[in-house]
Chain A
């Protein structure tokens, strides 16, 4: 068996070992690879930078733990960017398989531990920012499209109380948000189809500006909506998260001092993904070279 044949019949466990090492080593020793910011990501950053302090944005957690490594850093960076700009943030969750806990965890990761029913409402990471006035978590609602349709002018019918069970009317921010007209835009952090619904229902019917942070695997589909103007921005996978994180950390370096090591993970993740991509690309090229050489040999009857 010559080298080409050996390559063609390479035991897949070698490949698994390489991918495993490529995933572990950059986590232990971050490479800090450069990030090129793409236009769909820059569009989101510019939109948030252009808003006036006090304006409200809505962040919808439409994903579960399976895509957390891609979507979590997006949520962290957007919430922190918004609070650093003195914007106000409304958080909701529409994904049934874990969206409700993802949203709470990411919010608490950004603002610090919260316990509003027992009076712990002030952010420990953003002093002066208070739950119910500067940020609020409406909780989870089942029903997908129906809930999104109803939220247009009946927000309080869909979310009568916040995540902790307190009626929205008791909070300043809760009273202010009655429908999509009260928010500057909606940011959906999505896995699956919910991000599409924001574009083809909420943007198309109510004219609410929509941006989506999606997983890399569903990014090609979302580019069609972005190109059609149904989304004004798009964060595509871990790369999009790393680009956004880079923009925010450059403009607001002070955020690094008030966060812990669990924040700003997209850059580390992107290191890992880049190395794994390189290995996969290399093996695709090697596999094809071996395939072409072998086919030529067969044609020559060797």
Chain B
């Protein structure tokens, strides 16, 4: 019972109370107060989930290192980076508020400026090269659908290009039309579809039909 029913009941109450409080006002706003408390808990759980992620990362990568699995030096480097960043980050937190002597803020800022930012920016900027190469090789008019996609992409790319706009001044309006009408309509369909999917999945969890988050198989 404690393994199945109790967690299911908790999930039901945790989901149902905020939904009900959105539609119904109770005397003394008790439902709203409960909902606010649940939301406080959610913030705490979100923080705790981060810790759970770190533990999981250690478990997986330590196993990789101890068995000398393929790419184990990368796993070692990952854990070292994590530990160093965490130590300096914590030193930073205490440094500014309590001790003020460790220089943790300088070291953590240095990691941010000299490693984290350039690495993230580099990873993202590499996309420009890959996109250019992939567009040249794969963006071909193989059939009608690909032709329509290619035409729309070309109009939009040219429509935001100052050189092309000088030659073809109608392009920005055409670009705006594509973004505002066909694109917005298609995106709206995708967003509504995804929202309905999320709502039905949430309902399955609330009603106890979907139990995979408890580690239970279908029918258990």
Q: Which residues of A contact B (CB under 8 A)?
A: 10, 12, 15-16, 19-20, 23, 33-36, 38-39, 64-69, 96-98, 101, 117, 141-144, 146-147, 149-150, 154, 157-158, 164-165, 200, 219-221, 223-224, 226-228, 239, 274, 276-281, 283-288, 291-292
Q: How far is the CA of A67 from the CA of B40 in the complex (A)?
A: 30
- The answer to whether B187 and A19 touch across the interface, beta carbons within 8 angstroms, is no
Give bound CA distance, A141 to B43, whole Å: 9
With both chains docked as a complex, state the minimum distance between the C-beta of A91 and any C-beta of chain B, in angstroms.
18
B interface residues, Cβ below 8 angstroms from A? 36, 39-40, 42-43, 46-47, 50, 96-97, 109, 112, 116-117, 120-121, 123-125, 128-129, 131-133, 135-137, 139-141, 150, 153-154, 157-158, 160-165, 172, 176, 179-180, 183-184, 187-188, 190-191, 195
Contacts A36-B165, A36-B172 given; does A154 touch B36 at CB 8 Å: yes
Contact yes or no, B179 A220, CB < 8 A: yes
| A150/B133 in contact, CB under 8 A | no
Residue of A nearest to B172 (CB): A36
- Rounded to whole Å, the gap between the CB of A201 and the closest CB of chain B is 12
- Decide if A277 touches B157 in the complex (CB within 8 Å): yes
- Give chain B residues whose Cβ lies under 8 Å from the Cβ of A291: 140-141
Q: Evaluate contact between B120 and A66: CB separation under 8 angstroms.
A: yes
- Flag if B187 contacts A65 (CB, 8 Å): no
Query: Are B136 and A287 within 8 A (Cβ)?
Result: yes
Contact call A65/B165, Cβ cutoff below 8 A: no
* A154 proximity list for chain B (CB < 8 A): 36
Most chain B CB atoms below 10 A, which of A15, A284, A292? A284
List 7 A-B pairs, minimum CB-CB distance, nearest first. Answer: A224-B187, A146-B42, A65-B117, A66-B120, A143-B43, A143-B46, A65-B120
Distance, CA A141 to CA B42, complexed state (A): 12
Supply 16 A–B pairs (Cβ within 8 Å), ascending by A: A16-B133, A66-B120, A68-B120, A68-B121, A98-B117, A101-B112, A146-B43, A147-B43, A200-B195, A221-B190, A223-B180, A223-B183, A224-B187, A281-B154, A281-B157, A287-B140
- Find A68's partner among B42, B117, B157, B163 (CB 8 Å cutoff): B117
Residues of the A chain whose Cβ atoms lie less than 8 Å from the Cβ of B136:
10, 12, 15, 280, 283-284, 286-287
Q: Which of A10, A20, A98, A221 contacts B187 (CB 8 A)?
A: A221
Contact across chains for A224 and B150 when beta carbons are under 8 A apart: no
CA of A165 to CA of B48 in the docked complex: distance in angstroms? Answer: 21
Q: Contact: A227 with B180, CB < 8 Å? A: yes
> B residues within 8 A CB of A67?
124
Known pairs A33-B162, A142-B50, A223-B179; A284 contacts B120 (CB<8 A): no
Cβ contacts under 8 Å, A38 to chain B: 172, 176
Residues of A contacting B121 in the complex (Cβ-Cβ under 8 angstroms): 65-66, 68-69
Q: Of B124, B132, B133, B150, which contacts A276 at CB under 8 A?
A: B132
Contact partners of A279 in chain B: CB under 8 A: 132
Given contacts A143-B46, A147-B43, A284-B136, 6 further A-B contacts (CB under 8 A): A15-B129, A36-B165, A65-B120, A150-B36, A224-B183, A228-B188
Whose C-beta in chain B lies nearest to the C-beta of A224?
Answer: B187
Give the CA-CA distance A35 to B121 in the complex, in Å: 25
Assess whether A278 is in contact with B179, with CB atoms less than 8 Å apart: no
Smallest CB gap from B112: residue in A: A101
Chain B residues closer than 8 Å to A274, beta-carbon distance: 160-163
Residue of B nearest to A216 (CB): B160
A287 engages B139 (CB within 8 Å): yes
Q: Once bound together, how far apart are the Cα atoms of A96 and B160, in whole Å? A: 32
CB contact under 8 A between A19 and B161, given known A98-B112, A287-B136:
no
Which residues of B are found within 8 Å of A239, using beta-carbon distances? 160
Q: A220-B183, A292-B141 are in contact. Are A19 and B46 (CB under 8 A)?
A: no
Closest-by-CB residue of A relative to B97 is A165
Shortest beta-carbon distance from B124 to chain A in Å? 4
Q: A residues within 8 A CB of B190?
A: 221
Q: Which residues of A contact B125 (CB under 8 A)?
A: 23, 69
Specify the chain B residue showing the minimal Cβ separation from A13.
Answer: B133
Which residues of A sit under 8 angstroms from B131, Cβ to Cβ?
280
Q: How far is the CA of A36 from the CA of B168 in the complex (A)?
A: 14
Residues of B within 8 A of A19 (CB): 128-129, 132
**Would B172 and A224 count as touching, CB distance under 8 A?**
no
Residues of A within 8 A of B43 (CB): 141-143, 146-147, 150, 158
Would you give the shortest CB distance from A186 to chain B, in whole angstroms? Answer: 18
Does B120 lie within 8 Å of A224, measured CB to CB? Answer: no
Most buried by A among B172, B179, B183: B179
CB neighbours of B109 from chain A (8 A): 101
Note all chain B residues with C-beta closer than 8 A to A98. 112, 116-117, 120
